[in-house]
Amino acid sequence: MEFLNRFFFDIYPYLAGTVFLVGSWLRYDYGQYSWRAGSSQMLSKKGMRLASNLFHIGIIGILLGHFVGLLTPHWVYEPFLTAGEKQLLAMGAGGVFGAMTLIGGALLLKRRLTNERVRATSSFADIMILTLLVVQAALGLTTILFSAQHLDGSEMLKLASWAQSIVTFHGGASQHLDGVAIIFRLHMVLGMTLFLLFPFCRLVHIWSAPVEYLTRRYQLVRNRR
């Protein structure tokens, strides 16, 4: 049991992170024709807008929340926000964005499995990664029930200490997780697994999001003749 604990929470994060970065780079270099979202909207638009918007807004909110919540040192927000208050904030925001991701993802998965035209163009990887994202959203929402049993923020501080130890390359990060409920561990392992699978599925299109359009000073438009 100790070996599994050390593997998944001391070694696996770096394994998943390395595959995530190196795999994405290699796929960009050698598989640019597969670097796409593979949208199926042109095949069937029914229910697509609602499901897609819920899913994408929800998942963006979750990623930003996890990034800020886990990697911000306690001393940064301690002067104006207690650990308990931060946890309540995380539970509320995580609940909203998590529910959006779960509902949107479930609708997209149902569409992909039941719509004949969409199913015909879906690969095993498409269905698998969407299923894992829905399961991950469900696990994340379930953790809120366990977080409610530690409203002093102690559980959140353990998770943040683990994440900060990982990104700063401090050894023994798994020690910060002593006493953490199994549901959090499952959520963490599946999250790292999604990063591991990232370069091998359609998720790579996230790297190509046209963010630069938000900061462009002008846009050239040709007159139609």
Binding site as annotated, residues for heme b: 56, 66, 187, 205
What does the block give as tokens for 158? Answer: 């353990």
Using the structure block, give the residue that is written with the tokens 């846009």: 219
Q: d(Cα 174, Cα 159) in Å, to the nearest integer?
A: 10
What are the structure tokens assigned to 66, written together? 């996890």
Q: How far apart are CA 148 and CA 43, in angstroms?
A: 43
SS (H, E, C) the chain: CHHHHHHHHHHHHHHHHHHHHHHHHHHHHHCHHHCCCCCCCCCCCCCHHHHHHHHHHHHHHHHHHHHHHHHCCHHHHCCCCCHHHHHHHHHHHHHHHHHHHHHHHHHHHHHHHHCHHHHHCCCHHHHHHHHHHHHHHHHHHHHHHHHCCCCCCHHHHHHHHHHHHHHCCCCCHHHHHCCCCHHHHHHHHHHHHHHHHHHHCHHHHHHHCCHHHHCCCCCCCCCCC
Q: Known binding site: residues?
A: 56, 66, 187, 205
